């Protein structure tokens, strides 16, 4: 079993990307981090590697508001290819939006594990990652 958790950040904000990468690295947990600037880049990566599940992330932290393809559009496309993905991917919708419409819309998508309001604190992020790592060993 590979003990490295492939972690993916999909967000167009370069400062947020940098902060998330540094926060994830500071957990000292076994992570491989990939970053995409919009949902289109992330979906294209997945489509290009459909036969190579080992390249796919184990967890995605997905922003809502992005150019090209936003988080909800990404989820529409992901749900279409999910049956062809040979591994479980945990997806967290991460946004600065407190709009109840966004929160409710995210909760209605079964492939989304949770809705998290930015910024994700170190404690919560570490708990999420530790939980995902522990689930692999059960």
CATH number of the CATH domain containing 37: 3.40.50.2300
The domain in which residue 96 lies consists of 5-136
Q: What is residue 70's predicted lDDT score, i.e. its pLDDT? A: 97
For residue 131, give the 3-state DSSP assignment: helix
Number of domains, the chain: 1
66-116: per-residue pLDDT in tens? 999 999 999 999 999 999 998 999 999 999 989 999 999 999 999 999 999
pLDDT band at 2 (very low <50, low <70, confident <90, very high): low
Residue 25 has pLDDT above 70, yes or no: yes
* Arithmetic mean of pLDDT, 4-28: 96
Q: What is the per-residue DSSP string for 32-52?
A: EEEEESSHHHHHHHHHHTTT-
């Amino acid at each position: 079993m590979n003990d490295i958790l492939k972690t993916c950040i999909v967000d167009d904000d370069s400062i947020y990307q940098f902060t998330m990468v540094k926060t994830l690295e500071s957990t000292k947990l076994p992570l491989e981090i990939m970053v995409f600037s919009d949902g289109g880049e992330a979906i294209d990566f997945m489509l290009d590697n459909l036969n190579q599940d080992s390249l796919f992330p184990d967890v995605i932290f997905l922003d809502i508001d992005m150019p090209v393809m936003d988080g909800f559009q990404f989820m529409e496309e992901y749900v279409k290819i999910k049956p062809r993905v040979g591994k479980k991917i945990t997806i967290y919708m991460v946004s600065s939006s407190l709009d109840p419409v966004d929160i409710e819309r995210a909760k209605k998508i079964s492939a989304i594990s949770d809705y998290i309001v930015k910024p994700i604190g170190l404690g919560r992020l570490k708990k999420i990652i530790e939980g995902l790592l522990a689930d692999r060993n059960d």
